[in-house]
Amino acid sequence: MSMIADAFAKGTTHYFQPPASIKAFGADNEPETGMDARLATLVGLVALGLPVALLLTPYFGGCFRDSISHHYYEPLFGPVFVGMLSFIGGFLIAYRGDHWAENFGASLAGLGAFGVAVLPTTGAGCEKIAGITSRVFVAAQPDGTLMPDPNAFTLFAGVENLHGISAAIVFGFLALFVGVVLRRVVPARHMVDGQIIPTKRKRNILYSICSLTIALCIAALGLKTLGGADFLAGWNLWNLTFWVETLALWAFAVAWLAKGRQFPALNDPE
């Protein structure tokens, strides 16, 4: 068990390191204090709250859909889905860390988050309705009747492929960012006498668990596509894509709350 903890507590001391001018620990150059900490906390809370908000759809006459993305088609909560995911996308694009590759990856993931938000997946994701009355960017028919035609759920040909690519970029970045970038060890900040300080070790263990959780969720979503029609029907009956995506988002949220210094036991001493 201690060997696993030691492996989880480690982090790179060579890659994604900040420039020499900001390596030293201090309130003026520590990236996880002040405004940066508040923004990290806010994006963590949004990622935590998005699935919770969508779980309210059945209580407002909506449908508990197969995936988070399918809530794009909810008349009431569709804009909530687009708005909260767009906030995360905007934050990632604006995010500036300690290394250019970190910034590039965050910006790419931010564009991916916007893609997931505005490029819908296919199908209604709800077995209880024959059509939809509205969706975020495409209104109902002029007479307000339902649209049972499956093509009504397609914004343009091939949009589902762009949605899938965007989702892969976002989830891939989340796993790598939490598992590599957040776990990096800046010796001037995180090491004393050649040893990683205890609070950084604890944070790295948490980041490792979050990253592994996200990676397992990605694997589960990938394996889903290998199942047959009966397997997929059972999968959708239990809305498992929604729950797997929720678990990945919550793991990401916990990591960013830790980065935002919301867990006192994990915070570095002054």
Give residue-wise pLDDT tens across range 192-239.
Answer: 998 999 999 999 999 999 999 999 999 999 888 887 888 888 898 899
Kindly report the average pLDDT of the chain as a whole number.
Answer: 85
The stretch 167-173 carries a mean pLDDT of: 94
Report the distance separating Cα 87 and Cα 52, nearest Å: 16
CA–CA distance, 203 with 198 (Å, rounded to integer) = 9
Does residue 225 or residue 84 have the better pLDDT?
84
The confidence score (pLDDT) of residue 259 equals 92
Gyration radius of the chain over CA positions: 21
Which of 47-56, 73-82, 109-118 has the lowest average pLDDT? Answer: 73-82
**Cα distance between residue 152 and residue 178, in whole Å:** 38
Percent of the chain at pLDDT > 90 equals: 51
Distance CA 218, CA 205 (A): 20
pLDDT digits (tens, 9 = 90+) for 27-38: 333 455 566 788
Domain boundaries, the chain: 2-266
Q: What is the pLDDT at residue 135?
A: 61
